[in-house]
Amino acid sequence: MAGRNPGTELELGWISKVYVNRPAVVRHAEQIKKWKTVKGNWQAAWLLKAVTCIDLTTLSGDDTPSNVQRLCFKAKHPIREDLLKALDMHDKGITVGAVCVYPARVSDAVNTLKAAGCNIPVASVAAGFPSGQTPLETKLAEIRLAVEYGAREIDIVISRSLVLTGQWEGLYEEIRLCRAACGEAHMKTILATGELGSLANVYKASMIAMMAGSDFIKTSTGKEVENATFPVGIVMMRAIKEYYWQTGYKVGFKPAGGIRTAKEAITWLMLVKEELGVEWLTPELFRLGASSLLGDIEQQIFYHVTGTYALQHELAMA
């Protein structure tokens, strides 16, 4: 990944007078939905870029070693080999950005990927995912265990109550402790934006998370009623830009939850390009949290290559 954000001292002055013009943000988000998507070879190129930024995820109560192994195989071979050959991309080493699982399944994923001879990182959710309603000591212990099991990325979730009650010092300290527990593992901080009450709180929580040393800020757990939305994405990316201007450190962005179609993936890529620039369009600074998105992307690439949509049995399940 890119050079890590070391964080800063807590600067409450950066957030004390924040005002978010919600109507303007919503209008911009509505315009984004009307953007015309790219077609032909350009579409295929954008979709392959999206594949490399996917955190291929399974976070179900019935996860087993076998379905994690299947997920890892799909992570290494996200697009059928013959389709990549038709696009002359078969030798470019295209894989997903990471495999994301619960801590108890980290060892299964690490061992499977190691046996397959690939270096795809394993990410683990932690810190009381998805609710965050566990004692801090338990959160830190869970992070340390996930790292011990081999996770190279940790997706923590914040305590929403600290945001809703304006306890910014407490939020900063909690995230700093989580960052310390991660050690060398990179930390993505899930804000659970659908539960923060306002776009102003989303901006403030984003800034606090970055001050506390987050390598990425992430919209959602995927378990909330409202997950990744364009208004939230705009606000979070504006915060990332401001933090970069203030400190010189680039922090990654990860929308997650409800992103299911190839068109949505391309729109997110285009939005990142518009708000942050092309340098953010790498797995080091942009990820898409998704479980079913890859299937639609492969279907669209199949159509681009063959002119027909694949039958159910023609594409391997993720």
Which structure tokens are listed for 47?
Answer: 């979709």
Is-catalytic flag, 218?
yes
State the CB neighbour count (10 A cutoff) for residue 22: 13
Is-catalytic flag, 254?
yes
Q: How far apart are CA 186 and CA 5, in angstroms?
A: 10
**Active-site choice (139, 188, 250, 254):** 254
Strand order in the sheet with 122-126: 252-254, 216-218, 186-190, 153-157, 122-126, 98-101, 54-57, 288-290
Amino acid at residue number 301: I
**Active-site choice (218, 223, 263, 273):** 218
Which has the closest alpha carbon to 232: 196, 264, 286?
A: 196
Which structure tokens are listed for 54?
Answer: 């996917």
Amino acid at residue number 49: K
Is residue 315 a contact partner of residue 80, using CB atoms and an 8 Å limit?
Answer: yes
- Using CB atoms within 10 Å of the CB of residue 5, give its burial: 0 to 12 exposed, 13 to 18 middle, 19+ buried: buried
Which has the closest alpha carbon to 153: 244, 55, 257?
A: 55
Tokens 């729109």 appear where?
A: 267
What is the 8-class DSSP label of residue 276?
T
State the CB neighbour count (10 A cutoff) for residue 201: 21
User: In Å, how far from its chain's centre is CA 106?
Assistant: 17
Amino acid at residue number 218: K
Count CA atoms within 13 Å of residue 258 on its CB side.
14
State the CB neighbour count (10 A cutoff) for residue 58: 19
Handedness of CA 97, 101, 103, 107 (dihedral sign): negative
Active site residues: 218, 254
